[in-house]
């Protein structure tokens, strides 16, 4: 007698991943709106590899950042090379710009979207495999590029219907000289309070003091309020650049508020830094963020190249979109009330779809109840097929304008 088989346990999803189903329409609405606007703003669509050489991210994000030291999914391939699933888009786009000769198109406006990977604690709207939309302008040193990107982002939030309650927070990090002077002043200031800072901030003090300014630890917040501000160290050129960005935003009708503590810790960031924030997502309130990163190409071994960009989490945008992106009602439902008329129904729905009319076929369940079910579902038009005296007959239930459109499509 054979042993009874042990029931096979269904594997569970990996922690921090998601199967997008009920939220899929909101997710798609975000992407479709982004794609429509990137064409409006004349950004070129690019597709990037999901993994890169680990050095692309360790050199661009900094060996000592949390992303590189704790959150990257890195592995050794069969050839012994260290590869990493992309934790963000910008580094890969910069690598592509340098290695593919895209300088010939500069300034080039690029847009992409897709999955990214970080091993971090899952929380509301944050996953280990997550998705972003991303827009960059590479090769443009003028503040007008910053304005165009921010106008793009602002219009995106407007057209997604989620702009209410979202605020654009804006700051300047100055040029290289301004930033270096500010960095030195921050080190001097925080050294006077070193013993009272959090362990993370003590570790960051010499190598990344700007990160202390956005610390959430209560021990650090007590000292951050009195820390030196970038405005004390801005060169005349840096002041003019920020002034051009803010006046451009005013001209474009983009509302903004100054956030003098908003920073980017990595040294290649310059001038504009920004975040669109809301209190509708809990403590993690950033909806979209970015800045100017004029020093990144040099960090990757390329020539000095000005660049600015932003990214936004699709999951978080979709959460804000919510029910605004419910599945649209079909333009027409084709009902087969007699199974002998199924071929006529299939032919009809094909004609409707080729004419650009969204249509659903109802040919299962009780034939007598199919028409009533179609009425309950709701559609602009119902096209019903039945068999009378051995002949296939049809009737259309719709408003007059829709009837003419349906009849024309069925006649072709």
Annotated ligand binding at 189? The verdict is: no
**From the candidate CATH numbers 3.40.50.800, 3.40.50.2300, 3.30.200.20, 3.90.1150.10, the one assigned to the domain spanning 332-411:** 3.40.50.800
pLDDT at residue 309, rounded to an integer: 97
* Residue 90 among known ligand-binding residues: yes
For residues 81 and 53, is the Cβ–Cβ distance under 8 A?
yes
Strands 108-117 and 44-45: parallel
Question: Is 17 known to sit in a ligand binding site?
Answer: no
% helix, strand, coil for the chain, step of 5 = 45, 20, 35
Domain ranges of the chain: 24-175+235-324, 332-411
Using CA atoms, how far apart are residues 198 and 186, in angstroms rounded to an integer? 16
CA distance 328 to 28: 12
CA distance 174 to 186: 15
User: What is the CATH superfamily name and number for domain 24-175+235-324?
Assistant: Bira Bifunctional Protein; Domain 2 (3.30.930.10)
Q: How far is CA 121 from CA 108, 133, 206, in A?
A: 35, 21, 27
Two tokens at 270?
Answer: 């310059």
| Whole-number Å distance between alpha carbons of 144 and 134 | 18
Q: Dihedral (C-alpha) 96, 101, 102, 104: value to the nearest 10 degrees?
A: 170
Say what the pLDDT of residue 368 is. Answer: 84
Please check if 41 is assigned to a binding site. Answer: no
Closest CA to 149 of 170, 163, 166, 130: 170
353 assigned binding-site residue: no
Three-state DSSP class for residue 128: coil
Alpha-carbon distance 280 to 293, whole Å? Answer: 29
The reply to whether 264 sits in an annotated binding site is yes
Query: What was the pLDDT predicted at 61?
Result: 72
Residue 127 assigned to a binding site? no
Contact (CB, 8 A) for 393 and 386: yes
Least Cα distance to 52 among 62, 63, 60, 42 occurs for: 60
Place of tokens 């999803």: 13
Helix (H) or strand (E) holding 199: helix 199-204
Mean pLDDT by 10 residues, the chain (412 residues): 69 86 90 97 96 88 63 92 94 94 94 94 80 97 97 97 94 91 91 87 83 84 87 94 97 95 80 92 80 91 94 93 73 92 93 92 89 87 90 85 83 80
Q: Which of 132, 129, 111 has the alpha carbon at shortest distance from 17?
A: 129
What is the enclosing helix (H) or strand (E) of 25? helix 24-40
In this predicted structure, what is the pLDDT of residue 226? 87
Q: Is 204 one of the annotated binding-site residues?
A: no
The pLDDT value given to residue 325:
64
């Amino acid at each position: 007698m054979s042993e009874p088989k042990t029931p096979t346990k269904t594997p569970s999803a990996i922690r921090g991943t998601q199967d997008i189903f009920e939220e899929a329409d909101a997710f798609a609405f975000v992407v479709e709106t982004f794609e429509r606007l990137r064409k409006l703003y004349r950004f070129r669509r690019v597709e990037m590899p999901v993994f890169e050489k680990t050095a692309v991210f360790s050199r661009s994000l900094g060996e000592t950042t949390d992303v590189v030291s704790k959150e990257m999914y890195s592995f050794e391939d069969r050839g012994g090379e260290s590869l990493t699933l992309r934790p963000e888009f910008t580094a890969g786009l910069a690598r592509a710009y340098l290695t593919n000769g895209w300088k010939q198109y500069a300034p080039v406006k690029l847009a992409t979207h897709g999955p990214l990977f970080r091993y971090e604690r899952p929380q509301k709207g944050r996953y280990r495999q997550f998705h972003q939309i991303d827009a960059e302008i590479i090769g443009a040193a003028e503040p007008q590029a910053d304005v165009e990107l921010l106008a793009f982002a602002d219009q995106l939030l407007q057209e997604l219907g989620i702009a209410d309650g979202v605020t654009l927070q804006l700051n300047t990090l100055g040029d290289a000289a301004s930033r270096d002077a500010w960095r030195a002043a921050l080190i001097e200031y925080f050294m006077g309070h070193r013993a009272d800072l959090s362990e993370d901030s003590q570790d960051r003090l010499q190598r990344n003091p700007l990160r202390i300014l956005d610390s959430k630890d209560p021990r650090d917040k007590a000292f951050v309020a009195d820390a030196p501000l970038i405005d004390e160290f801005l060169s005349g050129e840096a002041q003019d650049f920020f002034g051009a960005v803010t006046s451009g935003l005013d001209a474009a009708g983009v509302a903004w508020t100054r956030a003098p503590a908003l920073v980017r810790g990595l040294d290649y960031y310059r001038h504009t830094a920004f975040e669109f924030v809301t209190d509708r997502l809990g403590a993690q309130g950033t909806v979209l963020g970015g800045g100017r990163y004029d020093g990144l190409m040099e960090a990757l071994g390329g020539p000095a190249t000005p660049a600015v960009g932003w990214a936004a989490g699709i999951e978080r945008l979709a959460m804000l979109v919510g029910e605004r992106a419910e599945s649209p009602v079909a333009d027409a439902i084709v009902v087969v009330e007699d199974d002998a008329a199924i071929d006529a129904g299939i032919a009809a729905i094909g004609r409707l779809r080729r004419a650009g009319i969204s249509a659903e076929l109802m040919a299962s369940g009780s034939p007598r109840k199919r028409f009533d079910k179609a009425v309950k579902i709701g559609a602009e038009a119902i096209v019903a097929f039945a068999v009378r005296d051995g002949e296939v007959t049809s009737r259309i239930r719709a408003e007059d304008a829709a009837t003419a459109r349906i009849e024309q499509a069925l006649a072709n």
